């Protein structure tokens, strides 16, 4: 069964607003990672949060992890037009298939 599933599938906000994307998964994980993909480009790693961590920050990014709910959220504060991209969560499970499994992604559009 697929691990990470992002919500919403698409999000459109005004520049300067905050954007929140959610990820749910099904099995116990070692870590969860967020990636960004600009149109026509490869994925870029944003942040990795381990199963024993609850929150992590990187610049305007804030990631939370709730292992009891098997969910994570990515918050982008003070959004910019350059943040327009697709955002993927990826999980590394403790058991089962030993591979990084990506969700379908959230398409984020920042309107100027």
Partner 1 sequence: DAGVIQSPRHEVTEMGQEVTLRCKPISGHNSLFWYRQTMMRGLELLIYFNNNVPIDDSGMPEDRFSAKMPNASFSTLKIQPSEPRDSAVYFCASSTGTGLAWEQFFGPGTRLTVL
Query: What is the contact surface with partner 1 in residues (CB under 8 A)?
Result: 30-31, 33, 35, 41-45, 48, 88, 92, 97-105
In order of 7, 30, 50, 68, 93, the CA distances from 98 in angstroms are 24, 10, 16, 21, 7
- Taking the complex as a whole, how short is the minimal distance between the CB of residue 14 and partner 1, in angstroms? 27
Minimum CB–partner distance for residue 112 and partner 1 (Å): 26
Euclidean distance between CA atoms 6 and 24, whole angstroms? 7
In the complex, least distance from residue 96 CB atom to partner 1, rounded to whole angstroms: 12
* Closest to 17 (Cα-Cα) out of 72, 105, 64, 83: 83
Alpha-helix runs per DSSP H in the chain: none
CB of 44 or CB of 81, closer to partner 1: 44
* Closer residue to partner 1 in complex, CB, 78/97: 97
Whichever of 13 and 47 has its CB closer to partner 1, that residue is 47
């Amino acid at each position: 069964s697929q691990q990470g599933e992002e919500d919403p599938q698409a999000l459109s906000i005004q520049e300067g607003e905050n954007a929140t994307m959610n990820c749910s998964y099904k099995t116990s994980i070692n870590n969860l990672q967020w990636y960004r993909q600009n149109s026509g480009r490869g994925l870029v790693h944003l942040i990795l949060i381990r199963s024993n961590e609850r929150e992590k920050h990187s610049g305007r990014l804030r990631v939370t992890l709730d292992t009891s709910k098997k969910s994570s959220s990515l918050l982008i504060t003070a959004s910019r037009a350059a943040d327009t991209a697709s955002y993927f969560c990826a999980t590394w499970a403790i058991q089962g298939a030993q591979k990084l499994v990506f969700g379908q992604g959230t398409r984020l559009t920042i309107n100027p």
